[in-house]
Amino acid sequence: MSSLLIPMLEGTLVSIKIFLFTLLFSLPLGLLVERGKRSKIWIVRKLINLYIMIMRGTPLILQLIFVYFAPYYILGTSFNRLNAVIFAYVINYAAYFAEIYRGGIQAIPKGQYEASKVLGLTKAHTFTHIIFPQVVKEILPAMGNEVITLVKDTALAQTIGVAELFRVAQTASARQFATTPLFIAGVFYFVMNAGVSKLFDIAEMKLNYYGKA
Amino acid sequence: MTEEKYMIEVKHLVKNYGENEVLKDISFNVAQGEVLSIIGPSGSGKSTLLRAINQLETIEGGEVIICGDTLYKEGLSLTPDQKRKIQLHNGLVFQDFNLFPHMSLKKNITEALIYVLKKDKAEADEIALSLLDKMGLKDRADSYPSQLSGGQKQRVSIARALALKPNVLWFDEPTSALDPELTGEILKVIKDLAKEKMTMVVVTHEMSFARDISDRVIFMDEGLIAEKGTPYEVFENPKNPRTIQFLNRFEG
């Protein structure tokens, strides 16, 4: 049993690593993409829209394969596998996050900007201190959904041979002619997502200290 | 008459939304310590005028001088910093308050004190508490806007505007979003400020209030000033047929 559990825990660590690095980069990148979508420059808006359409309109597994293999054809070399996974996930999730941010930003009444302006607050301060904190509360439920999906999407990394949890379980399952390792992997994912859900519940509770004015 | 006498000078102001001219050649002045009411039917441009002077709408023509600083004039271009400085001459109280819902009442007031006027936190807190006290809300300093009644919210938003010590305080229909029984508390606050010789411009639907409190009244109609004068001149002795027609609806 321990001969199974240790590799699976190692695989879990890889999955968690993909998860955390994806969030670390895609959360701020999504904000930047959202901003680009509202750019005054026509071509920037068009390019960002195209990017979002591709990211949301094609399978993540395909994007992953593309990110890993395309450089071989062009440059003759590529990322290491884990970095390719993280890169592919970051650009994919940033597109989804951008749309979520957009919804949240649109939900903030115009009066919040106007009040900030007449009080002399700068645009940057208005965004960071007045608008964004309210956006976070607004988008938390949608973000929760997306982050839970990300936990499960880490399983796709096996496609390009990264030894994350699902791949380890599959290998063990093939070796033992048993589905037990896959079932255990399912429990692992479930537990991780129970943790993620709990964190989002706590965050929502913490932000409940105020209501709509 | 020298120009410095006036807190606000507006000369031939024009404002368009595309083809649609919403303000056509508006001229008026506001003297120090004066209370000016702007009345008129919906769509007459009175709120747009207030918003244009407070930089919430663009201006397409004429000249606007706020406390000696030119905000708009043909060919003049100001940096965002200069515009922000000019805006600080004005305080604005909105119809629907626009308090920051995620901040306590105290923080609503201290935010600009700390980040715009660069006061230290202790001083900002002191200013906020004394203004909340003045508005009868001292014990609610740590409450959030959603916990207040409309009248209380409006008092906080007046406190927030006053904190920056504006030279002119503007009100955009300050009682329109309130239940009728709550309008009195806001009108009383404005009356008290008038006693302190605060310069104020009030866009309002409250005719009796405009009559009681104002030094001068402007009646606007279809983007023009149809009538201006003392409350007596405008309310008791109007000359423009549009004013007479408008006021008759309130006599009823």
Q: Could you read off the pLDDT of A112-159 as tens digits, one per residue?
A: 999 999 999 999 999 999 999 999 999 999 999 999 999 999 999 999
ipTM above 0.90, yes or no: yes
Residue A135 CB neighbours (<10 A): 21
Question: A144 to chain B nearest CA, in Å?
Answer: 21
Nearest CB to A213: which of B101, B160, B161?
Answer: B101
Q: Could you read off the pLDDT of A43-68 as tens digits, one per residue?
A: 999 999 999 999 999 999 999 999 99
In chain A, where are the structural domains located?
2-210
Q: Closest chain A residue to B109 measured between Cα atoms?
A: A119
Q: Cβ–Cβ of A125/B115 closer than 8 Å?
A: yes
- pLDDT tens over chain B, length 252 residues: 444 479 999 999 999 998 899 999 999 999 999 999 999 999 899 999 999 999 999 999 999 999 999 999 999 999 999 999 999 999 999 999 999 999 999 999 999 999 999 999 999 999 999 999 999 999 999 999 999 999 999 999 999 999 999 999 999 999 998 988 888 899 999 999 999 999 999 999 889 889 989 999 999 999 999 999 999 999 999 999 999 999 888 764
d(CA B26, CA A113): 27
- Three-point CA angle B15, B20, B22, nearest 5°: 40
- The CATH class for the domain spanning A2-210 reads mainly alpha
Question: With contact defined as beta carbons under 8 Å apart, do B117 and A152 qualify?
Answer: no
Chain B interface residues facing chain A, Cβ-Cβ under 8 Å? 54-56, 80, 84-85, 87-88, 90-92, 94, 96-102, 111-112, 115-116, 144-147, 153, 157, 160-161, 164
Q: Closest chain A residue to B163 measured between Cα atoms?
A: A119
Q: Cβ–Cβ of B98/A111 closer than 8 Å?
A: yes
Output the CA–CA distances (angstroms, integers) from residue B251 to B37, B217, B244, B245, in the order listed. Answer: 18, 17, 10, 10
Nearest CB to B100: which of A118, A122, A130?
Answer: A130
